């Protein structure tokens, strides 16, 4: 007899974990809806031709590939078989892979449905993604992303809106955060000013590590990338620039005055902060020049959110990009998006114990089963409660009282109703509060009133 197990890096979600995950997804979804984002979903499987080459060489390796159906070996050349080259062979025996993120499937979606879409197109997507990464604490091979993007509009009001959304979502979670903003154009301006414009990627990658390896580490990395001592020297004060956002912008305006792209980035940042000042933003927002997100992808705003109370990486990230769909033959689709990391939010909420109490209450009342006559009497009553939207269980077996009460306990059911022979005769019910132990006699109207007003 086999003892069953799960593939490593995957997990089951128990009713309690589902209730918590639903709380996270429902909150994010609710806020996305408030701002007019529309949900789409794409299949778990995509053609490998859609996925390969989009995530770098490392990403290609981390894709889960699906074996072709049927006699998948029949068409494979004997020489390829004999060569025993796993990479070569994949192309012959697998045509599909599991979704690795939500961005590439979204790009494919936009290209395939271009004629049905109205731009700007505001879409959100909350789905699992799969990566054959080495599993570790808090990192899974199946995990969830919650993306929102607005494409087909260059307006910076889209950036403002996404910042509002991040602020609103964390306000609802009661997680205190700092929303960090940067702009890729400012980074390009800096690289230009110090005369290393073509090394912008190396520079941003190095800057991105400031928190982890410190200033000396960053400088060492810049040297290793053949960036001149002179340029590195010019870079120091800029990267370590401190003070308020207004102060930073003032200094940068002087430093970047000769860089057209840099000045444009500053204008964008100023515009965004100016609009945010018109709105009631609850969380900290700051310009953070060390924010570079390693990616060669963003062309304007860059966002990152950090929890102020739990030491964990970024819990939301995003930015503006120029060319979502070029790789699929549809040029000039620009957009801006964010992605909430559901698993890390789950960890933060757990650690700070911030789930509302209602989150894990499913059934509101359990009716105890004293026997067939009692159940016959209760069936229509239970139906009346459900018709009012009250979540009710009637214990299915005439089991010992203790067992039924412990069922209510284990399932976190706050109230129990007891109706035996006496109660049937007098048409009352005993209502027990499972938390306080208090009992009251109620008739049906009183029970309904009590439960609907809770």
Q: Which of residues 96-135 bind its own copies (CB under 8 A)?
A: 96, 98, 108-109, 111-113, 116, 118, 120, 122-123, 128, 130, 132
Residue 452 CB, shortest distance to its own copies, in Å, is 14
Sequence-distant (≥ 6) Cβ neighbours of residue 293 within 8 angstroms: 208, 302, 304, 317, 319
Which parts of 253-312 interact with its own copies (CB under 8 A)? Answer: 275, 278-280
Residue in 54, 55, 59, 90 binding its own copies, rule: CB under 8 A: 90
Task: Provide φ and ψ at 262, rounded to 5°.
Answer: -60, -45
CB of 171 vs its own copies, minimal distance in Å: 11
Query: CB 289 → its own copies: shortest distance, Å?
Result: 26
Chain centroid to Cα 190, Å, comes to 32
Closest CA to 295 of 196, 212, 182: 182
394, with CB counted inside 10 A (0-12, 13-18, 19+), is: middle
45 or 354: CB nearest its own copies: 45
Q: For residues 150 and 321, is the Cβ–Cβ distance under 8 A?
A: no
**Residues near 28 by beta carbon (within 8 Å), at least 6 away in sequence:** 126, 146, 169, 340, 342
Does position 64 bind its own copies by CB under 8 A?
yes
CB of 192 to its own copies, least distance (A): 29
Nearer to its own copies, 62 or 231 (CB): 62
To its own copies, the closest distance from the beta carbon of 115 in angstroms equals 12
Rounded to the nearest whole angstrom, what is the least distance from the CB of residue 323 to its own copies in the complex?
13
Question: How far is Cα 7 from Cα 15, in angstroms, rounded to an integer?
Answer: 20
CB of 451 to its own copies, least distance (A): 13
**Nearest residue (CB) to its own copies, 231 versus 382:** 382
Residues 141-170 that bind its own copies (CB under 8 A): 141-142, 150, 153-155, 157-158, 160-161, 164, 168
Pick the closer one to its own copies by CB: 98 or 203.
98
201-260: contacts with its own copies (CB under 8 A): none
Verify binding: residue 138, its own copies, rule CB under 8 A: no
Q: Which is nearer to its own copies, 38 or 139 (CB)?
A: 38
Question: Does 407 sit near its own copies (CB under 8 A)?
Answer: yes
Count of residues in the chain: 454
Among 203, 390, 429, 447, binds its own copies (CB under 8 A): 390
- The answer to whether residue 71 forms part of the interface with its own copies (CB under 8 A) is yes
Binding-residue total with its own copies (CB under 8 A): 111
Closer residue to its own copies, CB minimum distance, 222 or 392? 392
In the block, tokens 């284990």 appear at 410
Cα 287 from Cα 270, distance rounded (Å)? 10
CB of 42 to its own copies, least distance (A): 5
Scanning 77-85, 195-203, 212-220, 308-316 for contacts with its own copies by CB under 8 A, the matching segment is 77-85
The distance of closest approach from Cβ of residue 392 to its own copies in the complex, given in angstroms and rounded to an integer, is: 7
Exposure letters 300-335 (e unless 16+ CB within 10 A, then b): bbbbbbbbeebeeebbbbbbbbbebbeebeeeebbb
Identify the helix (H) or strand (E) that includes residue 286.
strand 284-287
Scan residues 42-61 and list those touching its own copies (CB under 8 A). 42-47, 49-50, 61
Contact 198, 373 (CB under 8 A): no
Contact status: 400 vs its own copies (CB under 8 A):
no
- CB-nearer residue toward its own copies: 314 or 360: 360
Rg (CA), the chain: 29
Read out DSSP for 145-165? EEEEEEES---THHHHHHHHH
Among 11, 91, 139, 282, binds its own copies (CB under 8 A): 11
Selected binder of its own copies within 18, 213, 246, 250 (CB under 8 A) = 18
Q: Sort 187 into a burial class: Cβ within 10 Å, 0-12 / 13-18 / 19+.
A: buried
Q: In Å, how far are 172, 207, 220 from 214, measured between CA atoms?
A: 34, 9, 10
Beta carbons within 8 Å of 169's beta carbon, 6+ residues apart: 27, 28, 31, 316, 340
Per-residue tokens: 88: 């070569």
Nearer of residues 206 and 365 to its own copies, judged by Cβ: 365
Stretch 342-371 residues interacting with its own copies (CB under 8 A): 362-363, 366
- SS3 per-residue string spanning 180-234: EEEEHHHHHHHHHHCCCHHHHHHHHHHHHCHHHHHHHHHHHHHHHCCCCHHHHHH
CA distance 76 to 90: 10
* Shortest distance in whole angstroms from residue 129 CB to its own copies: 10
What binding mask, one character per residue, do residues 318-337 give for its own copies by CB under 8 A, x or -? ---------xxx--------
Among 35, 55, 297, 450, binds its own copies (CB under 8 A): 35
């Amino acid at each position: 007899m086999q003892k069953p197990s799960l593939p490593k890096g995957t997990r089951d979600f128990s009713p309690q974990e589902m209730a918590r995950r639903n709380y996270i997804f429902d909150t994010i979804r609710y806020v996305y809806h408030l701002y007019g984002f529309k949900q789409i979903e794409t299949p778990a499987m995509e053609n490998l031709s859609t996925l390969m080459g989009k995530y770098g060489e490392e990403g290609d390796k981390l894709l889960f590939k699906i074996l072709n159906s049927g006699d998948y070996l029949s068409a494979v050349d004997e020489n390829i078989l004999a060569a025993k080259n796993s990479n070569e062979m994949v192309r012959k025996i697998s045509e599909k892979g599991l979704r690795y993120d939500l961005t590439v499937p979204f790009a494919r979606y936009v290209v395939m449905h271009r004629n049905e879409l109205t731009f700007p197109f505001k879409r959100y997507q909350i789905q699992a993604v799969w990566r054959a990464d080495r599993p570790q604490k808090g990192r899974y091979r199946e995990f969830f992303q919650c993306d929102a993007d607005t494409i087909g509009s260059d307006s910076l009001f889209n950036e403002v809106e996404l910042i509002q959304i991040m602020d609103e979502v964390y306000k609802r979670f009661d997680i205190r955060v700092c929303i960090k903003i940067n702009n890729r154009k400012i980074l390009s301006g800096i690289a230009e000013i110090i005369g290393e414009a073509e090394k912008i990627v190396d520079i941003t990658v190095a800057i991105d590590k400031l928190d982890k390896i410190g200033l000396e580490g960053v400088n060492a990395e810049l040297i290793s990338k053949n960036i001149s001592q002179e340029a590195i020297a010019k870079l120091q004060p800029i990267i370590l620039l401190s003070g308020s956002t207004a102060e930073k912008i003032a200094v940068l305006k002087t430093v970047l005055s000769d860089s057209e792209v840099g000045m444009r980035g500053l204008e964008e940042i100023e515009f965004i902060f100016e609009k945010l000042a018109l709105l009631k933003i609850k969380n900290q927002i700051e310009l953070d020049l060390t924010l570079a997100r390693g990616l060669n992808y963003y062309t304007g705003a860059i966002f990152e959110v950090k929890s102020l109370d739990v030491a964990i990486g970024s819990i939301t990230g995003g930015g503006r990009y120029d060319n979502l769909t070029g790789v699929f033959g549809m040029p000039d689709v620009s957009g801006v998006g964010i992605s909430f990391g559901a698993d890390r939010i789950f960890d933060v909420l757990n650690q700070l114990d911030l789930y509302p109490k209602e989150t894990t209450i499913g059934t509101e009342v359990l009716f105890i089963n004293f026997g067939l006559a009692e159940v016959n009497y209760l069936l229509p009553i239970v139906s009346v409660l459900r018709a009012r939207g009250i979540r009710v269980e009637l214990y299915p077996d005439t089991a010992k009282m203790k067992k039924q009460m412990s069922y209510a306990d284990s399932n976190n059911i706050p109230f129990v109703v007891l109706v035996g022979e006496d109660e049937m005769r007098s048409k009352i019910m005993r209502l027990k509060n499972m938390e306080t132990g208090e009992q009251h006699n109620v008739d049906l109207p009183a029970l309904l009133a009590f439960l609907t007003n809770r």
